[in-house]
Amino acid sequence: MRRIHVMAAVIRDPQRRILIAKRPDNAHQGGLWEFPGGKLEADETRLNGLRRELKEELGITVISARPLIDLQHDYTDKQIRLDVWEVSSFSGDAHGAEGQPVRWVTEQQLNDFSFPAANQPIVTAAQLPDRYLVTPGLDEPDVLDGIGRAVAAGMRLIQLRQTQLDDARYRALCEQVMARWGDQAIFMLKGDQAPVMEGAGWHLTAAQLREFAQQPTPVRPLPEHRWLAASCHNAEELQMAEALGVDFVTLSPVLPTQTHPDALPLGWEQAHALLTRCRLPAYLLGGLTLAELNTAHHAGAQGIAAIRGLWPSTQVAVGTAVTCRPPHRSVRAELPHTAPASGM
């Protein structure tokens, strides 16, 4: 069966709302919501195909776009490749040029709509930033100071990796962090404290991932409304993460790193090959800085994860701080119509 190459877009307006469209009732997966796009023609580049589809469907002209996530999904009656790009700038007033209902929604409101099964990783990717900060092994006051500066600069996803602390000190640090900044960023915890720290996510080590995934009946160790991530290093671990229902992963090490100097780097080619078979948003990790962010995007990654490469002592501001809460995927409800917005 030939795989159908579909270009799709997560289109953002100046308020960072996202445009979604409703599929016709008589179409495949009819009545569900989707991210606009359509089939790539044989003689088109990916970006040109995306531009054509969005002009035809929405009446907009794409100005700036980048790869977001590239997925393969098999339905019972067809196989598709969902090649999803994030459109951050466009001209024209977006509207349903083919008569389809469209709505502008926030990242969190995406959880209130029913999408085809193949779209769930896209929803997650749309809710996540492209930078994942991992805290260095500093003393608590220095960590708190750095996190404060990072959040103020717009960092939205942070892992508290204080492996040098005992359980009591780590829990105390997590409580301080969540009390100060828990409504401004997603915080991922390590170790046994994560499940009991409501409001925070849990980043599983590769060993923990294997432990949960290899149970006779694997069960996701956190409820759906809390973020769950895992560290992966190969195809087997990526498959385990998907089977366990993890929301996103890190894949490492891409380049030589001071944190794990003896680890054999994957390199860009192998990292890209692994990501082509991954159906989860993935952050590339290991020796990366913002200089490699665009390369990571085009390799199929959500973005980069880093300690030194993102810690605010060596980085400038990355944007405007925003409130960001964990997704809740169990509720599906219609929202009131929101008027279309211009991309300029």
pLDDT at residue 115 in the model? 95
342 vs 298 pLDDT, higher one: 298
In percent, how much of the chain has pLDDT > 70? 91
pLDDT at residue 30 in the model? 82
Give residue-wise pLDDT tens across range 161-199.
998 999 999 999 999 999 999 999 999 999 877 888 889
Nearest-angstrom CA–CA distance, 133 and 180: 17
Report the pLDDT averaged over residues 96-104. 95
Give residue-wise pLDDT tens across range 289-308.
999 999 999 999 999 999 99
Sequence-distant (6+) residues with CB within 8 A of 103 are: 19, 20, 335, 337, 338
Give residue-wise pLDDT tens across range 110-120.
999 999 888 99
78 vs 159 pLDDT, higher one: 159
CATH class of 3-112: alpha beta
Report cis status (omega within 30 of 0) of the bond before 67. no
Nearest-angstrom CA–CA distance, 5 and 79: 9
Sequence-distant (6+) residues with CB within 8 A of 225 are: 326, 327, 328, 329, 330
Task: Report the b/e string of 304-335 with b at 16+ CB within 10 A.
Answer: bbbbbbbbbeebeebeebeebbbbeeeeeeee
What's the CATH number of domain 131-306, 3.40.190.10, 1.10.10.10, 3.20.20.70, 3.40.47.10? Answer: 3.20.20.70
Per-residue confidence band for 344, with pLDDT thresholds at 50, 70 and 90:
very low
Nearest-angstrom CA–CA distance, 209 and 251: 13
Give residue-wise pLDDT tens across range 144-157.
999 999 999 999 99
Q: Euclidean distance between the first and final Cα of the chain, in Å? A: 41
Threshold 0.75, pTM exceeds: yes
Sequence-distant (6+) residues with CB within 8 A of 277 are: 72, 235, 238
Nearest-angstrom CA–CA distance, 118 and 35: 11
Q: How far lies 137's CA from each of 140, 170, 217, in Å?
A: 9, 12, 36
Per-residue confidence band for 333, with pLDDT thresholds at 50, 70 and 90:
very low
Give residue-wise pLDDT tens across range 212-232.
999 999 999 999 999 999 999
Q: Which DSSP symbol is given to 216?
A: S
- In the chain, where are the structural domains located? 3-112, 131-306
User: Which element (helix H / strand E) includes 123?
Assistant: helix 120-127
Per-residue confidence band for 314, with pLDDT thresholds at 50, 70 and 90:
low
26 vs 302 pLDDT, higher one: 302
10 by DSSP, 3-state: which?
strand
Task: Report the b/e string of 153-190 with b at 16+ CB within 10 A.
Answer: ebbbbbbbbbeebeeeebbebbeebbeebbebbbbbbb
CB 304 within 8 A of CB 283: yes
DSSP output for 249-266: EEE--SS--SSSTTSPP-
Nearest-angstrom CA–CA distance, 229 and 321: 22
